[in-house]
């Protein structure tokens, strides 16, 4: 453990939970790296993701963006391909794009596909699926409106998914953001996770929340408080 990390961790009161704005101000203050670290929120939820009716996955658009440059690859042909190029897609193709990916060329962070392309794209399941890059209609990335999907991905739409321990790890911005911008993004994610609570979840839903920079220590957040108002965690 580095001296910078230890010094940062010493500033966090582990016996307290912070209001979001205070927690995110502290995350910015104690971020130890010399680069613009990513800020994440980690929600520990009372769900059992081994059960099909307790899965939690989706996307949410951050009002202040994610601060991340997202390279988008689009599987499309004809008019849809032209629309994708005009919307700012970084890579557009069909059979040629599939061949590149099969050859190991994965130079993108997200994918979009028109519905008619999915029979072909399905062959990439083992490659893209393990990286979380497979187009998915539930996430809005299999769609005839590729321009809209590209705009959302590049404008700050992030994916959330509860892992096998019931924890959602969600990007909410960069340390260069103001604490207010981070708190607004956090509040949007918080509301989305509350809204998407699986009906089968029993007991306390939001067990704990931690915010952190990519290289810094975690700061505990009061799970009953969002940015501007109070919500009693069930």
- Write down the residue that tokens 């613009």 correspond to: 36
Top mean pLDDT of 35-39, 55-59, 62-66 is at: 35-39
- Write down the residue that tokens 């069930």 correspond to: 234
What pLDDT is attached to residue 13? 87
- Spatial distance between the Cα atoms of 224 and 135, rounded to a whole number of angstroms: 34
By C-alpha distance, which of 66, 67, 44, 47 is closest to 55?
47
Q: How many contiguous H segments (helices) and E segments (strands) does the chain have?
A: 8, 9
What pLDDT is attached to residue 232? 36
Domains along the sequence of the chain with CATH: 3-66+157-221 (3.30.190.20), 72-155 (3.40.50.790)
Average predicted confidence (pLDDT) for the chain: 90
What pLDDT is attached to residue 105? 93
Please give the model's pTM, rounded to 2 decimal places. 0.74
Phi/psi for 225 (5° steps) reads: -125, 130
């Amino acid at each position: 453990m580095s001296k910078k990390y230890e010094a940062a961790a010493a500033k966090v009161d582990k016996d307290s939970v912070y209001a979001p704005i205070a927690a995110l101000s502290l995350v910015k203050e104690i971020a130890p790296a010399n680069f613009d670290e990513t800020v994440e929120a980690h929600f520990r939820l009372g769900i059992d993701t081994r059960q099909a009716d307790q899965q939690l996955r989706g996307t949410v658009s951050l009002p202040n963006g994610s601060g991340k440059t997202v390279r988008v690859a689009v599987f499309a042909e004809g008019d849809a391909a032209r629309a994708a190029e005009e919307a700012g897609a970084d890579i557009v193709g069909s059979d040629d794009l599939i061949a590149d990916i099969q050859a190991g060329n994965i130079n993108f962070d997200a994918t979009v596909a028109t519905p008619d392309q999915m029979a072909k794209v399905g062959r990439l399941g083992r490659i893209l699926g393990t990286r979380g890059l497979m187009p998915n209609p539930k996430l809005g990335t299999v769609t005839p409106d590729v321009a809209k999907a590209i705009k959302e991905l590049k404008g700050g739409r992030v994916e959330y998914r509860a892992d096998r321990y019931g924890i959602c790890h969600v990007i909410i911005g960069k340390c260069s953001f103001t604490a207010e911008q981070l708190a607004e993004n956090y509040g949007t994610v918080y509301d989305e996770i509350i809204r998407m609570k699986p009906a089968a979840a029993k007991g306390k839903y939001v067990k704990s929340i931690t915010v952190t920079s990519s290289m810094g220590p975690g700061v505990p957040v009061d799970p009953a408080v969002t940015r501007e108002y109070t919500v009693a965690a069930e």
